Amino acid sequence: MQLTTTALTVPDGERMEYFDIIDYSGHEEDPERLAGLLGYRKIFELGKDALLVDAKDADSLARSGKKLIIRDSSEKGLLIHALKNSAVIGILANSNLDADVMETVKSLRKLIILSASALTSTNKHTRIANLGKMRRVVRDCMHKKLKLAISSFAGQKEYMLSSLQLVEIAKFAGADEETARSMSGALGDFL
């Protein structure tokens, strides 16, 4: 039995493409083969295709030529300033975002990115707490019509996810079917 994963198709017959970001290097598998097996168009690597940085470091690291994802922070002013940098594609947010930050993300057409590893790589009680926060973020972003993305951000091979699983986790976090599929493919437009 030859093992492949067909990309999920949306009802009108268009082929959805899914993308993922992982947070570890040194894996021995061929990235293209792994992407094909798990049902992704491409798997990006943090450190190679994009950087995960704090808001205060965004300006200095923008010169590296890589796309930046900034961590959520309580310092609203720093976040808004960092978002205006063209190298920044969005915020990695797993808890409530400030309303002004969300407005800035919306006006600049950036992403709110969710990390599935907040659910998959934690114990049950932490997972439940993180799930509650993530559902609030998804609900608020869907209400304000912000662009959402989700990735595994797997730190180890065991925490990687197939495209099927990533869509299900997006639904688990409160997205409807259409939003969940678009969340799993959103990174492709930015990276």
Partner 1 sequence: MIMKKKYRHILVNSSAEIDFLNRENERLLKDALLDFMGEDRFAGANPRVIKTIDRNNFVMNCMRGYERDIVLALAFAKEINGVKTGFYTLKISGTIKGLAK
Interface with partner 1 (CB under 8 A): 1-6, 37-39, 116, 119-121, 124, 127, 157-162, 164-165, 168-169, 171-172
- What is the C-alpha to C-alpha distance for residues 71 and 156, in angstroms, rounded to an integer? 20
Nearer to partner 1 by Cβ, of 140 and 172: the residue is 172
Closest CA to 135 of 94, 106, 165, 102: 94
Distances (CA, A) of 67 to 54, 106, 170: 13, 18, 23
- What is the C-alpha to C-alpha distance for residues 100 and 81, in angstroms, rounded to an integer? 12
Nearer to partner 1 by Cβ, of 4 and 86: the residue is 4
CB of 104 to partner 1, least distance (A): 32
Nearer to partner 1 by Cβ, of 15 and 84: the residue is 15
CB of 101 to partner 1, least distance (A): 29
CB of 58 to partner 1, least distance (A): 31
CB of 186 to partner 1, least distance (A): 19
Helix 99-108, helix 124-144: angle, nearest 10: 60
Q: What are phi and psi of 154, to 5 degrees?
A: -65, 130
Task: Identify the burial level of 106 via C-beta atoms within 10 angstroms of its C-beta, where 0-12 means exposed, 13-18 middle and 19 or more buried.
Answer: middle
Nearer to partner 1 by Cβ, of 2 and 107: the residue is 2
CB of 20 to partner 1, least distance (A): 11
Nearer to partner 1 by Cβ, of 142 and 164: the residue is 164
Chain length of the chain: 191
